[in-house]
């Protein structure tokens, strides 16, 4: 299935049905009076987050969604039928943005969450509504109220606990394949990963978290270089970032600073998230190189640096445990202070 995380669609709710002008016509009843009914309500446009979707690819082929008009009123004071609502199902984590791509209209970050985006028009009144003691035979009836219409952008931000960041060929896809059942493409050239990948990491029967791998960043990604930074949105909801650095590539400090600069330029609170720095590919370095590069990186970053080899599976368990500790703490904080949850970012 092709991955698509952005789509522009047009939505329009239904118009209300028209009211009707009618009079009671019945044998032996000389003055039947007005009995025109009102129109039915137009259909609403509703968005719903569901679990069984993970891409917006369906919206590449269907881009216009219109609800039906409500039924017109009828004689004998009969109200027109209400139109059926149009429910648009989207993946969990979908944000609905206005046409300016900046105004957030809704954030469907939990399964089953619904949002009424465009309300259907109300039905118009029939002439029975306007009957009074001084106006026994009104001939006024109203048209139904128009529905609402707008263009919106859908933006998918994957729901994950841990986000993988790093330069191309830092070993992110290899790490994901080692610790989860995900099978991303792995090769010895840059930008092997072209779209985000998710994997579930299980440490025990009760300890698990979701890991997101995004395409590698390069210097100038915030300006569109390489694949750009558009995929960084998929790690905005993460509790912690796992920053993988290719220890065998040489200048590990420069690699770390490059990614940190891109996170700062992107914004969205990514630079403020907890970060676990891991020097990867330990099996491709001598003990002297490993010790020196780890010490240099710790001095530059001011943080503890862990060592790992995804291919040889050395140090992987320690890294996973450190990640889960941060994830568990973030989950506990969300339960204690649900109103301060930043999942709507």
CA distance 198 to 181: 9
Was 193 annotated as part of a binding site?
A: yes
Was 171 annotated as part of a binding site?
A: yes
Was 167 annotated as part of a binding site?
A: yes
Beta bridge partners of 65: 11
Was 325 annotated as part of a binding site?
A: no
Distance, CA of 175 to chain centre: 25
**SS3 label, residue 296:** helix
Buried-exposed string 46-73: b where 16+ CB fall within 10 A, e elsewhere: bbebeeebbbbeebeeeeebbbbbbbbb
Q: Are 13 and 119 in contact (CB under 8 A)?
A: yes
Sign of the CA dihedral 109, 268, 102, 334?
positive
Was 170 annotated as part of a binding site?
A: yes
Q: Are 193 and 215 in contact (CB under 8 A)?
A: yes
Was 172 annotated as part of a binding site?
A: yes
**SS3 label, residue 181:** coil
Was 191 annotated as part of a binding site?
A: yes
CA distance 94 to 154: 7
Was 213 annotated as part of a binding site?
A: yes
Q: Is 101 left (phi over 0), alpha (psi -120 to 50) or beta?
A: left
Was 195 annotated as part of a binding site?
A: yes
Was 283 annotated as part of a binding site?
A: yes
Read off φ and ψ for residue 307, nearest 5 degrees.
-120, 140
Was 178 annotated as part of a binding site?
A: no
CA distance 229 to 217: 7
Q: Are 181 and 200 in contact (CB under 8 A)?
A: yes
DSSP H helices, the chain, are: 58-61, 172-179, 252-266, 287-301, 316-336
Was 216 annotated as part of a binding site?
A: yes
Helix, strand, coil in percent for the chain, rounding step 5: 25, 25, 50
Was 135 annotated as part of a binding site?
A: no
Instruction: Name the CA dihedral angle for 181, 7, 162, 238, rounded to a multiple of 10 degrees.
Output: -150
Was 104 annotated as part of a binding site?
A: no
Was 143 annotated as part of a binding site?
A: no
Question: Annotated binding site for GTP, which residues?
Answer: 166-173, 191-195, 213-216, 280-283, 309-311
Question: Annotated binding site for Mg(2+), which residues?
Answer: 173, 193
Question: Annotated binding site, which residues?
Answer: 166-173, 191-195, 213-216, 280-283, 309-311
């Amino acid at each position: 299935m092709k991955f698509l995380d952005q789509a522009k669609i047009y939505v329009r709710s239904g118009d209300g049905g028209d009211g009707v002008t009618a009079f009671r016509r019945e044998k032996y009843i000389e003055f039947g009076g007005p009995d025109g009914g009102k129109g039915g309500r137009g259909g609403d446009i509703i968005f719903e987050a569901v679990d069984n979707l993970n891409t917006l690819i369906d919206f590449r082929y269907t881009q216009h969604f219109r609800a039906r008009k409500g039924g017109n009123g009828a004689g004998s004071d009969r109200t027109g039928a209400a139109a059926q609502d149009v429910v648009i199902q989207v993946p969990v984590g979908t944000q609905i943005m206005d046409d300016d791509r900046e105004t957030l209209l809704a954030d469907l970050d939990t399964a089953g969450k619904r949002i009424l985006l465009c309300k259907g028009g109300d039905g118009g009144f029939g002439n029975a509504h306007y009957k009074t003691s001084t106006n026994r035979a009104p001939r006024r009836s109203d048209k139904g109220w128009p529905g609402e219409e707008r263009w919106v952008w859908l933006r998918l931000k994957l729901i994950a606990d841990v986000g993988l960041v790093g330069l191309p060929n830092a070993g992110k896809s290899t790490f994901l394949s080692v610790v989860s059942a995900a099978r991303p493409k792995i090769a010895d050239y840059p930008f092997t990963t072209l779209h985000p990948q998710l994997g579930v990491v299980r440490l025990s029967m009760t300890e698990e978290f979701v890991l997101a791998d995004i395409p590698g960043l390069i210097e100038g990604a915030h300006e569109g270089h390489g694949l750009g930074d558009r995929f960084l949105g998929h790690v905005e909801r993460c509790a912690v970032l796992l920053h993988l650095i290719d220890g065998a590539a040489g200048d590990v400090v420069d690699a770390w600073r490059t990614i940190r600069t891109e996170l700062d330029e992107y914004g969205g609170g990514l630079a403020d998230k907890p970060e676990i720095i891991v020097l990867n590919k330990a099996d491709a370095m001598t003990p002297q190189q490993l010790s020196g590069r780890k010490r240099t990186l710790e001095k530059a970053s001011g943080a503890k640096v862990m060592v790992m080899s995804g291919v040889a599976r050395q140090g992987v368990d320690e890294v996973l445990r450190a990640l889960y500790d941060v994830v568990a703490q973030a989950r506990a904080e969300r339960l204690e202070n649900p109103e301060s949850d930043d999942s709507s970012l």
